[in-house]
Amino acid sequence: MAALSEKLQRIVPGLKLVEAHGKMPAAQIDEVMVGFADGVGDILLATNIIEAGLDVKRANTMIVWRADRFGLAQLHQLRGRVGRGNRRGQVVLLTQAEGGIAERTLKQLRTLATFDRLGAGFEISARDLDMRGAGDMLGDTQAGHMKLIGVELYQHLLELALRQVRGEDVDRWTPDLNMGSPGALPASWIPEADVRLGLYVRLARLADAAALEGFEAELLDRFGPLPAEAESLLARARLRLSARTARVGRVDAGAAAIALTLRKDFAGDTAKAGLMEKDGRFLLIEATEDADRFDLVHALLETLVAAGTGSREPMARKVV
C-alpha cells in the first residue's frame, strides 16, 4: 500500500491523499472516513474495508487495483460506494495482462461490466450462481455454509428455522452451571479428536432425559466403563436439563451455599424449596462436600418443579 501511495502522490502532486486500512486503529479509520466524507482530502487510498458503511456522496470515481483478486460480490459492493450523490459514478477495474488471469475470474469481471445499471444486483447474483454452481446440499460438492459447519448442525439450524416459520415456540436458551469441574471426554478414553468433538456436539443438543440415557448407554457400549471425567460431564448434562425444566437460568454451587438465578418465566414456589432471596438470586445456605453437591442441587431443582413450574419437559433424574 505504501508503494501505491508514493506512486499516486507522484502522479497527482497537487491533490491531498488520505489512507484507510485494517491495520490502523478503529478510531483513526473512523476519523479518516468521516473527514473524507466531509471534504478532508481529495483521494482516498483504502483496502476493501470501505465496501460497506459510510456514504461519501462527493466521491464519483473509483479505481480498483488488481480487481481479479476480488470476488464478484465484493466488486459489486465496492462499486456501490461511488455515485451516491448527484454525480454519476464510474469504476475502473485494473488487472494484470489477461493471459495471467483464470478464465473463471475473467467471466466474473465481464459479468460486472455487463450488468452496470441501477438495480442489477439480482442479475449479478444469478450469474454468479450459474458460474459457481449451486452444489449438492448433502454431497461432497457442497461448497457453502453447510460444508463449513457440518451437515448435522445445518440440519439442526434448519429445523429450528422451520419451526419458527410455522409459528412454533423455539426456546434455545441453556442454563449456566457454575459448580466446579465441567467434566470431559478424556483423550485416554476416546483417542480420536474428531470422534470426541462429534460426541460433544451431540451431547449439547440432547433435549430430554431419555435421550441422555441412550447417549450414556452408547458410550458404555462403544468405549467401556466411564471414567470420572465423563461421569461428571454427564452429571452436569442432567443438571442442565433439570435446570431448564425448572426455568432456572444459572446455578452457582459452592461449599457453603447454592445460588439460583431464575428466569422471568419461572413459576415455582421458592419458599417451599427453602430458598431466600438476596440481590436478585435465591439462596440455599447449606454446607456440602464436592461428592454430594450434584445430588443436593438436583434435589433442589426437583422440589422447584414439583412446586408448580408448569413445565411440560421431562425431568432428568439420574445424578452421580
What is residue 318's predicted lDDT score, i.e. its pLDDT? 39
Query: Strand 61-65 to strand 43-46: parallel, antiparallel, or no bridges (unpaired)?
Result: unpaired
Q: Whole-angstrom Cα distance, residue 301 to residue 154?
A: 33
What is residue 144's predicted lDDT score, i.e. its pLDDT? 55
Cell of 37: 466524507
Place of cell 425448572: 246
Burial class of residue 37 in the structure, from the number of CB atoms within 10 Å of its CB (0-12 exposed, 13-18 middle, 19+ buried): middle
Does residue 50 contact residue 20 with C-beta atoms inside 8 Å? Answer: yes
Place of cell 485494517: 22
Quote the pTM value: 0.48
Q: What are phi and psi of 50, to 5 degrees?
A: -90, 5
Of how many residues is the chain composed?
320
Tell me the β-bridge partners of 62: 91
Tell me the β-bridge partners of 43: 17
What is residue 222's predicted lDDT score, i.e. its pLDDT? 92
Q: Whole-angstrom Cα distance, residue 271 to residue 279?
A: 16
Task: Say which residues have a Cβ less than 8 Å from residue 2's Cβ, sequence separation at least 6.
Answer: none
Crossing angle between the packed helical segments 290-306 and 228-246, to the nearest 10 degrees: 20
pLDDT by residue, tens only, the chain of 320 residues: 788 888 888 888 889 999 988 888 888 988 988 898 888 989 989 888 887 666 788 888 888 888 888 877 778 778 777 877 777 778 888 887 666 777 777 777 777 777 766 666 666 766 666 666 555 555 555 555 555 566 667 777 788 888 888 887 767 778 888 887 788 999 999 999 888 988 998 898 888 889 999 999 999 999 999 999 999 899 889 888 888 888 888 898 888 888 898 888 887 778 877 888 888 888 888 887 877 788 888 888 888 877 654 343 433 433 33
Q: How many CB atoms lie within 10 A of CB 302?
A: 17
Q: Whole-angstrom Cα distance, residue 33 to residue 60?
A: 15
Burial class of residue 254 in the structure, from the number of CB atoms within 10 Å of its CB (0-12 exposed, 13-18 middle, 19+ buried): middle
Cell of 53: 458503511
What is residue 184's predicted lDDT score, i.e. its pLDDT? 92
